[in-house]
Amino acid sequence: MDYNFLKVENHDNGITVVAISVPQSLNALNSKVLSELERFIDNLDISVRVLVITGDGPKSFVAGADISEMKDLNEKGGLSFGQLGAMVFRKIEVLDIPVIAAVNGYALGGGCELAMACDIRIASENARFGQPETGLGIIPGFSGTYRLSKLVGQAFAKEIIYTGRTVKSDEALKIGLVNAVVPQEELLNTVMAMAVKITANAPISVKYAKKSINEGYDLSTAGAIALENEYFAKCFNTKDQKEGMDAFLSKRKASFTNE
Ligand code: DAK
């Protein structure tokens, strides 16, 4: 499939890396880029086990939503632009496979929001996070008020959003916005090693674990426990559960078939 703003690498170990590539704007997201990202997500091959999202080039993951496109929007236009981004990011969040953000530089505004829609964030030392929207006369519009509060708690989310300040990678790690920080030259290798570890496990288990964590988060304690129990039980319908346990008891490496 052809893309103008995405560079896609399909590795034969079930890992796909997609880089947002809009060099003239530090990979800012305009509606064409968002629509392309949606098409890419909708057409992801069933054999892909882990998706990695990164930014093209050494400087920026995504420097936000495209300010030149947003500048002249009215309320109706703002609503549809916000809905497009929010919908694409939600598709990423609920994908059946884990999505890792390899944050290789600026992750501002919509870039921070894109990273937060991923399951796991690994940042390079030069990564810079932030939600600078209040300085532009808007608020985060791709679900950033919600996801940042969820990830780092309301106190930090409010401070970061009200001030619009930049969060360096070491602070992002401290407040739980990212899982790890590594030197830039090690970023993709680190992410790929993590992805390989995930692909060694039973795909259905990884999928149900993701669904249980995501869907359980918005439920009551009792509801979340009941939901986990349902997904746990479903695992026993799979060949991979038999294989995983048989392999353990036979002291051999499991060979999962995603059945
Ligand atoms: N949009 C458009 N162009 C951008 C851009 C952006 N977000 N970020 C950078 N660029 C462009 C610059 O304009 C510049 O273009 P030229 O002048 O070369 O033509 C080029 O990229 C290189 O940028 P700089 O020259 O500024 O590079 P520096 O290294 O000096 O600075 C920077 C890098 C990332 C610190 C700086 O570019 C910067 O502050 N960029 C803006 C970051 C930002 O504010 N991002 C948040 C955008 S707002 C909503 C929907 C969505 C959103 C909100 C509401 N609804 C409508 C519901 C989301 C909003 C955002 O994400």
Per-residue pLDDT tens for 152-195?
A: 999 999 999 999 999 999 999 999 999 999 999 999 999 999 99
Q: What is the pLDDT of residue 24?
A: 97
Ligand 1, CB cutoff 6 Å, lining residues: 25-26, 28, 63-68, 78, 81-82, 85, 106, 108-110, 132-133, 136, 138, 140-142
Q: What is the pLDDT of residue 249?
A: 98
Looking at the predicted structure, is the pLDDT value of residue 143 above 90?
yes
Ligand 1 center from residue 49 Cα (angstroms): 32
Closest CA to 116 of 131, 126, 136: 131
Per-residue pLDDT tens for 70-99?
A: 999 999 999 999 999 999 999 999 999 999
Looking at the predicted structure, is the pLDDT value of residue 255 above 90?
yes
Q: Which of 5, 20, 25, 26 to mutate to test the pocket of ligand 1 (most atoms within 8 A of CB)?
A: 26
Annotated catalytic residue 171: no
pTM above 0.95, yes or no: yes
Say whether 30 sits in a helix, a strand or coil: coil
Q: Which strands form 120-124's sheet, in the order they lie side by side?
A: 6-10, 15-20, 50-55, 99-103, 120-124, 180-182
Ligand 1 center from residue 32 Cα (angstroms): 16
Q: Which fold has domain 203-250?
A: Lyase 2-enoyl-coa Hydratase; Chain  A, domain 2 (1.10.12)
Pick the atom of ligand 1 nearest to 26's CA.
21
Confidence of residue 142 (pLDDT cuts 50, 70, 90): very high
Quickly list DSSP for 67-122: HHHHTT--HHHHHHHHHHHHHHHHHHHT-SS-EEEEE-SEEETHHHHHHHHSSEEE
Residue where the block lists tokens 């059946």: 96
Average pLDDT score over the chain: 97
Q: What is the pLDDT of residue 217?
A: 94
Going by CA atoms, what residue is nearest to atom 27 of ligand 1? Answer: 26
Say whether 196 sits in a helix, a strand or coil: helix
Per-residue pLDDT tens for 230-242?
A: 999 999 999 999 9
Annotated catalytic residue 215: no
Q: Which two tokens stand for residue 80?
A: 């549809």
Looking at the predicted structure, is the pLDDT value of residue 31 above 90?
yes
Q: What is the mean pLDDT of residues 104-131?
A: 98
Range(s) of the chain covered by CATH 1.10.12.10:
203-250
Residue where the block lists tokens 């030069």: 126
Range(s) of the chain covered by CATH 3.90.226.10:
6-199
Ligand 1 center from residue 235 Cα (angstroms): 45
Looking at the predicted structure, is the pLDDT value of residue 22 above 90?
yes
Per-residue pLDDT tens for 96-117?
A: 999 999 999 999 999 999 999 9
Exactly one of 9, 36, 75, 113 is catalytic; which is it? 113
Looking at the predicted structure, is the pLDDT value of residue 61 above 90?
yes
Per-residue pLDDT tens for 192-228?
A: 999 999 999 999 999 999 999 999 999 999 999 999 9
* Domain boundaries 6-199, CATH class: alpha beta
Pick the atom of ligand 1 nearest to 133's CA.
48
Going by CA atoms, what residue is nearest to atom 8 of ligand 1? Answer: 63
Pick the atom of ligand 1 nearest to 59's CA.
29
Q: What is the pLDDT of residue 1?
A: 83
